[in-house]
């Protein structure tokens, strides 16, 4: 009886079944996440809204704007039924029971927190729009990567602008998606994390959001915390993963100098159950929209909390990541007789990892910058990256590359490996696309300049086979004997 009385005391928006979800932001988080929610919850209407008509048009076309294995199939099954992509932001906010904020939160490029703090312009804009439009109480969910206590800021914005008798409960529900496996991560998550206030209304709001996920996720995998713990857990998870990559990459430098083999070292330590084998693949460094941004966010938080030693610790993860890319290019220059002037270099891959077209913070961007600074001409081969996106990345003012020079000296191919490699002095593996393992490297060897070089920055090729063909091979974390026999 007591529990029934408690349930009766709940406001309607914290007790009625969820029937309508609005997601603000049709990007890499909002699009896939809400597509899977619509797929698994056919009884819920899901509206993904965005101010960009071009992006919404792309979602409503057969050629959706994000490449993720399995995503297009789910979108096509649900679109027009209970999944809708639209620019009608205010209409969808008004009728939603739950609103996800999934907007971009880039690192600030100006003012206080330059290069460290996240830019919450779009989060603030979303919150102000919600408070202006909402005529009834709602649950607001921050899905964007945000700093600790962002939910508190969102709550204050909503409270200061809302209509009479309108109440908001703000939850933190960070995503833990890995691009390239995002759909599998959504369908079979390791965990769902929901943070909210510790009072009754906060707990009831968490139950409401949890009820959505429980349509396909076992309740034992749904972790509930306070809001701040949820927000910090997101930053910490990405920081820890990036730390492992920088740690193994630092060891790869020792391997190259000493003659140890990084793949053998990774295998040996990965068998230790306390360490495990994941994220021990040495490479030219991590990329993507999350790792560097979230570590910078964590550093900024530490600096503001006067935790200088902690900030310095996490900063070193980024230092090693940059060092790994720079020393990889230094090896290319050294092997090509200390000059790349007017030499053609072919990069295999521009996306930051395989099975995605996302190029944000890709290691290939800095590799290209260093090669262009040395006077090289570059041909990029990538099956999913568009030319305009590549040029956009290389036009970043921070790279200080003249745009006309970039357009003149950088070409992109999606499938024609022979044309991409014709007359090239070296192949540089920057992305671990599986298709790169299937090429006929003997045929490629015949059309390249001699000596023909391969620099494997992802450790995906058969180096012994390449050497037998006649290539000069270099790879991350390995020391090769190039003595003429």
List, by residue number, the catalytic residues. Answer: 290
Contact 77, 83 (CB under 8 A): no
Residue 175: CA count within 13 A, CB half-sphere: 29
φ, ψ for residue 155, nearest 5 deg: -60, -45
Using CA atoms, how far apart are residues 304 and 286, in angstroms rounded to an integer? Answer: 26
Sheet (strand 222-226) strand order = 83-86, 45-49, 20-24, 98-101, 138-142, 168-172, 192-196, 222-226
User: 34: closest CA among 4, 97, 88, 78?
Assistant: 78
DSSP letter string, 327-395 = HHHHHHHHHTTT--TT-EEEEE--SSSTT----TT-HHHHHHHHHHHTT-EEEEE-SS--HHHHHHHHT
Tokens of 126: 């979303």
Using CA atoms, how far apart are residues 102 and 224, in angstroms rounded to an integer? Answer: 20
Tokens of 179: 């691009």
Using CA atoms, how far apart are residues 46 and 23, in angstroms rounded to an integer? Answer: 8
Query: Three-state SS for 412?
Result: strand
Query: Three-state SS for 170?
Result: strand
Using CA atoms, how far apart are residues 43 and 20, in angstroms rounded to an integer? Answer: 9
- The four Cα atoms 96, 98, 99, 105 give a dihedral, to 10 degrees, of -170
Contact 304, 229 (CB under 8 A): no
């Amino acid at each position: 009886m007591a529990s029934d009385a408690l349930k009766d005391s709940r406001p309607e928006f914290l007790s009625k079944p969820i029937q309508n979800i609005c997601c603000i932001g049709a990007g890499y988080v909002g699009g896939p996440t809400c597509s899977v929610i619509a797929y698994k919850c056919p009884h819920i209407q899901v509206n993904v809204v965005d101010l960009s008509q071009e992006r919404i048009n792309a979602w409503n076309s057969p050629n959706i704007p994000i490449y993720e294995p399995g995503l297009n199939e789910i979108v096509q099954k649900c679109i027009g039924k209970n999944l809708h992509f639209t620019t009608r932001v205010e209409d969808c906010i008004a009728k939603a029971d739950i609103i996800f904020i999934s907007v971009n939160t880039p690192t600030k490029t100006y003012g206080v927190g330059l290069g460290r703090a996240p830019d919450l312009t779009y989060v603030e804009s979303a919150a102000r729009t919600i408070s202006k439009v909402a005529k009834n109480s709602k649950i607001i969910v921050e899905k964007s990567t945000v700093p600790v206590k962002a939910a508190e800021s969102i709550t204050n914005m909503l409270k200061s602008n809302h209509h009479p008798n309108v109440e908001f409960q703000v939850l933190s529900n960070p995503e833990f998606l890995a691009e390239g496996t995002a759909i599998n991560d959504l369908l079979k998550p390791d965990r769902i994390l929901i943070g909210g206030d510790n009072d009754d209304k906060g707990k009831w709001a968490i139950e409401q959001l949890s009820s959505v996920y429980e349509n396909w996720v076992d309740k034992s995998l749904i972790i509930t915390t306070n809001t701040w713990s949820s927000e910090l857990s997101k930053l910490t998870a990405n920081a820890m993963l990036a730390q492992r990559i920088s740690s193994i990459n630092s060891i790869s430098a020792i391997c190259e100098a000493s003659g140890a083999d990084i793949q053998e070292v990774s295998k040996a330590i990965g068998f230790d159950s306390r360490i495990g084998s994941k994220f021990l693949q040495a490479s030219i460094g991590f990329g993507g929209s999350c790792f560097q941004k979230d570590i910078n966010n964590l550093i900024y938080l530490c600096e503001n909390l006067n935790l200088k030693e902690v900030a310095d610790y996490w900063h070193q993860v980024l230092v090693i990541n940059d060092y790994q890319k720079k020393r990889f290019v230094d090896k290319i220059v050294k092997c090509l007789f200390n000059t790349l002037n007017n030499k053609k270099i072919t990069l295999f891959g521009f996306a930051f990892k395989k099975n995605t077209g996302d190029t944000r913070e890709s290691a290939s961007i800095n590799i290209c910058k260093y090669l262009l600074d040395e006077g090289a001409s570059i041909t990029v081969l990538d099956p999913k990256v568009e030319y305009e996106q590549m040029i956009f990345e290389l036009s970043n003012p921070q790279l200080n590359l003249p745009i006309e020079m970039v357009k003149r000296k950088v070409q992109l191919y999606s499938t024609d490996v022979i044309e991409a490699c014709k007359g090239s002095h070296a192949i540089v593996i920057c992305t671990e696309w599986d298709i790169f393992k299937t090429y006929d490297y003997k045929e490629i060897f015949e059309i390249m300049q001699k000596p023909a070089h391969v620099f494997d920055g992802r450790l995906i090729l058969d180096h012994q086979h390449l050497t037998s063909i006649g290539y000069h091979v270099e790879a991350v974390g390995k020391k090769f004997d190039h003595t003429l026999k």
